[in-house]
Amino acid sequence: MKYVPLIILLTAIMLLTGCKSKKVPTVTYSDLYGSWSVIEVNGEKVNEEKTQQMLEFDTLRKLLSGNAGCNRLFGKIEYQESQKNIIRFLQVSTTRMTCPQQKEENDFLEALKNVVRFAPESVATTDTIAFYGTNNAKLMVLRKK
């Protein structure tokens, strides 16, 4: 009889440790810092070698730069720490060269203009992120370089 409380305690500990849920990864604003390859735009896979689309985030200075496919791009990042995962890209400009992949570049720039939030693309890793629009449609997916 004197071992019953001990057995109950040990059983409770085993049950609680066995029911531990896996933590879903999160992506913070500071995690965006660095270079990212564009791997999907508007639900379509991007041929990375063909388009060479990429984004570079300078989260400290809130600046954006990269390659839209042919033209270089640059702009500002609007982000407030109080609004987790809400992000906007402002005053995005590009160089003005005519390119063979103009449609892919235009689609990419239009998607970038409509981004309002970001989240991890996978529950397994934070090296792939997705950007979403106001209607919660996935606009693009990036992979950390």
pTM score of the predicted model: 0.81
Cα separation, 42 vs 21, in Å, equals: 33
How many Å separate Cα 99 from the centre of its chain?
27
Q: Which two tokens stand for residue 26?
A: 């999160």
Distance CA 44, CA 140 (A): 9
Which domains are assigned to the chain? 25-144 (2.40.128.270)
Q: What is the mean pLDDT of each run of 10 residues along the chain (145 residues)?
A: 59 58 74 97 92 96 96 97 94 92 92 97 88 96 96
Residue 123 makes CB contacts below 8 A (sequence gap 6+) with 24, 25
